[in-house]
Structure 1
Amino acid sequence: MSGTIAIDDRTRNRALAGGIWGTIVEWYDYAIYGFLATIIARNFFPSEDETTGLLAAFATFGIGFVARPLGGILIGRMGDVVGRKSALITTLFMMAVSTVAIGLLPTYAAIGIWAPTCLVVLRLLQGFSAGGEWGSSAAFIVEWAPQERRGFFGSLQQVSVGLGLLLGSGTAALLSTVLTAEQMGSFGWRIPFIIGGVLLPIGMYLRNNVDETPIFREEHAHAAKAPESTTRLAVKAFALTIIWTVGFYIVLTYMPTFTERQVGLSKTEALWSNTLGLLCFALVIPLMGHLSDRVGRKPVLIGSVVAFLVLVYPLFTLMLTAKSLAAVVAVQLVLAVMLAAFSGPGPAALVEIFQTAGRATWMSTAYSLAVAIFGGFAPYISTWLIKVTGTPIAPTFYLIGAAIVSLAAAWSLRETAFEKLK
């Protein structure tokens, strides 16, 4: 890392804890909706056709991503002008408030059309927050990293995303285990959303008590301006993110719905299987980040994309043929490793593409646009593809198409693992 500001391990570890815990809370709050989509569909989008209600629930899930580019631009800009810390405190507060509000929202049976309308507004607020969180937190964590360990430090941002999802999936699975289906449908689904508010004070305390990143302070002191020739780099970052976000929302969010409806698992089995996959994902990510510090970002990223290109069709075929919990768990573990191979080096790779003065804005914008266009609607698109093609293997077509685009982007990247941040 460039700069003359001295960094001690205690300060760096405190900053890392603030970045990680806040991201855990953010992604627990954001993803719990996806894990409870079938219940939300019945409470907010009642329909005689179950698939139609589920499509409406997933469309609302996807709508949250529409606001992400706007959040990426505005909060990312805040992170570049005011500081990463201020941006991260803002996103955490917004996410927690909107999540608790979803947990307290009356259902369609109580207030009619106002229920889904309010749900859409709250998902937009969540999306705005998430759009600013990702780029700001990735920049914050990687900028605090020692030069030779940026891949590992950046991977911890993705570990915290995985842990947030794991906490959400585990909470949903636990409640599904201890409560009856009727209890889950009437009040149990609200509990995970309300828990999001309980986690807020810890995250706010940690983020309030960290320092701004040294490289940002140094650049800010010199009134550095973002370079103008960043559009081409942003396009590369956008294309690189496509398989990452499509894989993420199909493998880690949509999978419980897929295995329940297409493979025949019970809701509890589907949630516990997904939780095991998330645990594997979180454990493998730092290994992949560390590997990218040794061999470079490109080999690990390309290996992950090629795996998606070649393996997703046979893996989904295995699940649909075997129709057993054991087969689903095995497939989800393999998919988790494949996704972790991208998520490990991914944050550092994107951070290293851009310069400090405009990093949070450009990262957040490129990433959020890819997520909004391709990732957020992945559960909806998967459900729609199955309906129109008549085959449950259809989600793999979407994954393979995304892999082709991201492979071209990964291949065109310059290796940045061994260079100083600028």
Structure 2
Amino acid sequence: MSTLRTTPSRDSWGHSHVEALHRRVLGKLMRRKPPLTEESITVVDQPMLKRAITAAALGNTMEWFDFGVYGYLAATLGKVFYPSASSTAQLLATFATFAAAFLVRPLGGMFFGPLGDRIGRQKVLAATMIMMSAGTFAVGLIPSYSSIGLWAPVLLLVARLVQGFSTGGEYGGATTFIAEYSPDSRRGFLGSWLDFGTFIGYSLGSGMVTILNLWLGEDSMVEWGWRIPFFIAGPMGLIGLYLRLKLEDTPAFRKQLDDHEAKVKQTESGGREIRKIFAKYWRALLICMGLVILYNVTNYMVTAYLPTYFTDVLGRSQGSADMLVLLSMLVVVLVIVAIGRLSDRVGRKPIFAFGAVGQIVLAVPCFILVERDGFVLPAIGCIVLGLLLACFAAPTASTLPALFPTAVRYGALSIGFNIAVSLFGGTTPLVTSALVSSTGVNLVPAFYLIVSGIVGLVAVFYLRESANQPLEGSPPQVDTQEEATELYATAKESLSRV
């Protein structure tokens, strides 16, 4: 812990953490066992907090750099690895390989999540970074179908499975890491930087493919140009690994190591923790999965399926399609941090609810606009989809970790997140592509978004507001020692009035 400022910290709205906490919450903190003391309030190490956010966000950047590359190269990869199939079959095969990585994500979550609860978040996040970068780099080394035949798509599948297994422990660990490092009053703002890294990574990957397509042309891209973006993963992975190895574990996890119960937990098997999670925290798991479905169906619809929808369903040029999807990503990048800060002010639930209702009402109009000729009307549709996506992306990293206590947070979050992503998120491009192809109805993606909006709205209804409150089972976490003193004094006063 460290003292870094001489005045109580205030957010951009002019409110301190103490003012943001309801007196009922303060009274509850004082009556907890063990009771709250000024010494038990965690004062965040600000330089370590900045390094933690950077290291966690970089992992997401690398993961989504790969997704952006893969989504924009879907047509090219189909020609490289499935050259004898029709163009429709090539896309379906490419998206099936994309979706296959999501089938093993729950296995990765069940392996890495409980492991992170036992040995620490930092060690596991370093391991997932190594595996992610190795799997992505390996894709660029795979010979084409014309060189080694069926072994080419088999090796592509193996590389994707390695990526999927490693990312099963990545997002749950990264959100846990940032949430446990962040002061309570700024958790929404700081957590939004994690998904800021997500969309920066996607934009970099998709932007690189767009430039390569324009520069090299289709023939060169099929022959060798498609490999270039995957080779970037190697250096990015080494940088991310270096940053993560320089981090200390989170204050919440280190505090837990001092507890007798936590020492006993070190010998607990991963299987036992998984059974405990499903038996004791099933309600929180369902809420987690509902919010993840809301976020990730929209996410993968826009980032992974929309580029192909523009070119193969609507017949747009590759360059026009790439620019429209990049526009929606630019919107997310521009507003996500502001929405994260807003969630600290008004709460997580209103932001999620606003986005879910907006998606239910606007999904069909957005896709009607997307179908129009020209650039302006489709651009408006993409901008609205980007704004809705930002409403889900911004508060997610601060909301999901607050559903679970420290002892099972990494494991429970990884399991709930990856089951939902595997069943409904990563399969979105494959399912919508197949439905559009079989039904001939271009508005199928909009109907899919409406269903996810309804599921998300139900989850939001049962969600407990967590803005400006300590994580479950943890004492308050603040920016400065002065704020800790102010918080403790106010809590004592609150208790005396109850």
Same fold, TM-score > 0.5, yes or no: yes
**2:142 pairs with 1:105:** yes
Aligned partners of 2:453 and 2:174: how far apart in 1? 25
1:48-127 equivalences in 2 (<5 Å): 48-127=85-164
One-letter amino acid matched to 1:411: F
Secondary structure of residue in 2 paired with 1:136: helix
1:152-171 equivalences in 2 (<5 Å): 152-171=189-208
1:230-379 equivalences in 2 (<5 Å): 230-320=281-371, 322-379=372-429
User: Which residue matches 1:400?
Assistant: 450
- In structure 1, runs of 5+ residues without a counterpart are none
- In structure 2, runs of 5+ residues without a counterpart are 1-16, 18-35, 266-272, 474-498
Post-superposition CA distance 1:370-417 (Å, at most 9, x none): 110001111111111111111221111211111111111111111111
Aligned partners of 1:176 and 1:268: how far apart in 2? 8
Segment of structure 1 superposing worse, 150-159 or 15-24:
15-24
One-letter amino acid matched to 1:82: I
Residue 48 of structure 1: how far off its partner (Å)? 4.3
Aligned partners of 2:124 and 2:208: how far apart in 1? 28
Residues 72 and 365 in structure 1, CA contact (< 8 A), matched pair in contact too: yes
1:192-207 equivalences in 2 (<5 Å): 192-207=229-244
Residue 49 of structure 1: how far off its partner (Å)? 2.2
Structure with greater helix share of residues: 1
User: Which residue matches 1:417?
Assistant: 467
Aligned partners of 1:299 and 1:310: how far apart in 2? 16
**2:430 pairs with 1:380:** yes
Aligned partners of 2:133 and 2:211: how far apart in 1? 21
Q: How many residues align?
A: 421
Residue 29 of structure 1: how far off its partner (Å)? 2.6
Secondary structure of residue in 2 paired with 1:344: helix
One-letter amino acid matched to 1:70: L
User: Which residue matches 2:13?
Assistant: none
Residue 186 of structure 1: how far off its partner (Å)? 1.0
Aligned partners of 1:24 and 1:241: how far apart in 2? 19
Residue 178 of structure 1: how far off its partner (Å)? 1.2
Residues 256 and 274 in structure 1, CA contact (< 8 A), matched pair in contact too: yes
Secondary structure of residue in 2 paired with 1:173: helix
Residues 262 and 392 in structure 1, CA contact (< 8 A), matched pair in contact too: yes
Aligned partners of 1:380 and 1:351: how far apart in 2? 29
Residues 117 and 407 in structure 2, CA contact (< 8 A), matched pair in contact too: yes
Residues 71 and 303 in structure 2, CA contact (< 8 A), matched pair in contact too: no
Aligned partners of 1:124 and 1:117: how far apart in 2? 11
Residue 206 of structure 1: how far off its partner (Å)? 0.9
Residue 99 of structure 1: how far off its partner (Å)? 0.8
Residues 370 and 382 in structure 2, CA contact (< 8 A), matched pair in contact too: no
- Tell me which structure has the larger Cα radius of gyration: 2
Residue 89 of structure 1: how far off its partner (Å)? 0.8
Residues 32 and 169 in structure 1, CA contact (< 8 A), matched pair in contact too: yes
Secondary structure of residue in 1 paired with 2:77: helix
Residue 242 of structure 1: how far off its partner (Å)? 0.9
Residues 44 and 183 in structure 2, CA contact (< 8 A), matched pair in contact too: no
Segment of structure 1 superposing worse, 349-358 or 22-31:
22-31
Secondary structure of residue in 2 paired with 1:420: coil
One-letter amino acid matched to 1:312: A
Residues 131 and 162 in structure 2, CA contact (< 8 A), matched pair in contact too: yes
Post-superposition CA distance 1:134-174 (Å, at most 9, x none): 00000101111111011111111111111111111111111
Residue 6 of structure 1: how far off its partner (Å)? 4.3
Post-superposition CA distance 1:98-134 (Å, at most 9, x none): 1111111011111111111111111111111111100
Aligned partners of 2:377 and 2:72: how far apart in 1? 20
Task: Give RMSD over aligned pairs.
Answer: 1.6
Pick one of 233, 250, 253 that aligns with 1:213. 250
Residues 264 and 323 in structure 1, CA contact (< 8 A), matched pair in contact too: no
Residues 180 and 250 in structure 2, CA contact (< 8 A), matched pair in contact too: yes
Residue 275 of structure 1: how far off its partner (Å)? 1.8
Residues 253 and 406 in structure 2, CA contact (< 8 A), matched pair in contact too: yes
Secondary structure of residue in 1 paired with 2:400: helix
One-letter amino acid matched to 2:443: I
Post-superposition CA distance 1:288-337 (Å, at most 9, x none): 111111111111001111111110111101121x2223322222111111
The 3 A distance-change label for structure 1 pair 193 and 258 is same
Residue 285 of structure 1: how far off its partner (Å)? 1.2
Residue 4 of structure 1: how far off its partner (Å)? 4.9
Residues 192 and 393 in structure 2, CA contact (< 8 A), matched pair in contact too: yes
Aligned partners of 1:47 and 1:166: how far apart in 2? 31
With normalisation by structure 2, the TM-score equals 0.82
Aligned partners of 2:441 and 2:422: how far apart in 1? 26
User: Which residue matches 1:186?
Assistant: 223
User: Which residue matches 1:172?
Assistant: 209
Post-superposition CA distance 1:226-265 (Å, at most 9, x none): 7762122112111221121111000122111111122332
